[in-house]
Amino acid sequence: MRIFLTGGTGFIGHYVAKSLLSHGHELHISTRHPEKIPSLAETKGVSFFQGALCDTDVLQQAIQGCDACIHIALGWGETPTTMLKNDTLATATLLELAANAGCEKFIYTSSTAAMGQMRPSMDETCVNLPVDLYGATKAAGEAYVLGFRRSGMKRNIIRPGYTFGNPAFPDGCSQPDTRFAKIAEAVLNNQPIHIIKNDGTQFIHASQQAEVFTRLIESNLNEEIFLALGETWISWKEIAERAIALVPGCSSQIIEEDLGWSESPMFFSVRKISEVFGLQFDSRPFLDSHINYYLEKLKK
């Protein structure tokens, strides 16, 4: 397939690009910074189109001749109206452009933040109760994607959880969250590591996340939502302990701030990706490598 991809030079996006290329697909990538990952730009089967999500003319040109569209890029805003303009409207516009260009498939990258408020049972059937503007725009994007039935496109949604990993390409990037880097810096300098007691999540490695995207775009599913997270809940305390163990002689101490969070974490169900795709993810084998990535980067 020829696939139009937004956010292809971002963290999750460049992993998805690598996976799709390895499966023989051709990519049209829209990005503000086509020079960001030179090795991706030089890869056979990749064409770059420079522009932001609001550059409708660029998007319209780039999506022509594509069989499918994967929308990963995020448009940010600090107020309800700017978030609406920069992200929600951009998603709705891209939906129309994809349909008008004859795309047969569309994947929207949402987030667990669309679901918002944690409840005892968190799966794809939960009503979205976002607690911030990021979650609100993701929930709104989902609604537009599912509601655009007259298009004839097969439209599906992925809700990633916390995704981490070393760069997919040598000149690529890691996740924007800095907590792994800060832990690595602390252990190298024998400084205390500050974390919140009982804080953690169902981490998923970016290569695992990309596999969900690839399986879904190659399927004939329609109007489905998939939570994409690891099966195992891992605490930041465990990650800090792993980092300390990786540095011989490290004297860093873990300092936990008690905010009253329960020792029994609430889980997102990952049953659906297991039942539909046979995918079950454990991110633990990737943790030490990722911590070492930051340790070596900081040493340099």
Tell how strand 154-160 and strand 225-228 pair up: parallel
Q: How many helices (H) and strands (E) does the chain have?
A: 11, 13
Residue 279 within a domain:
no
Which domain, by its residues, includes 131? Answer: 2-163+203-228
Identify whether residues 184 and 37 lie together within a single domain: no
Question: Facing residues of 116 across strands?
Answer: 129
Residue 39 within a domain:
yes
Cα–Cα distance between 210 and 152 in angstroms, integer? 25
Identify whether residues 142 and 291 lie together within a single domain: no
Cα–Cα distance between 155 and 143 in angstroms, integer? 11
pLDDT, tens only, 9-62:
999 999 999 999 999 999 999 999 989 999 999 999 999 999 999 999 999 999
pLDDT, tens only, 159-205:
999 999 999 999 999 999 999 999 999 999 999 999 999 999 999 99
Helices (H), the chain: 11-22, 38-41, 56-63, 80-83, 89-100, 133-147, 179-188, 206-217, 236-245, 271-277, 284-299
Identify whether residues 8 and 31 lie together within a single domain: yes
Identify whether residues 208 and 196 lie together within a single domain: no
For residue 169, give the amino acid letter: F
Identify whether residues 109 and 128 lie together within a single domain: yes
Residue 276 within a domain:
no
Helices (H), 148-196: 179-188
The helix, strand and coil proportions of the chain, stated in percent and rounded to the nearest 5, come to 40, 20, 40
3-class secondary structure, 90: helix
Phi and psi at residue 118, in whole multiples of 5°?
-75, 140
3-class secondary structure, 80: helix
pLDDT, tens only, 110-141:
999 999 999 888 999 999 999 999 999 999 99
Q: What is the number of structural domains in the chain? A: 2
CA angle 130-132-137, nearest 5°?
70
Of the candidates 3, 289, 265, which has an alpha carbon nearest to the alpha carbon of residue 164? 289
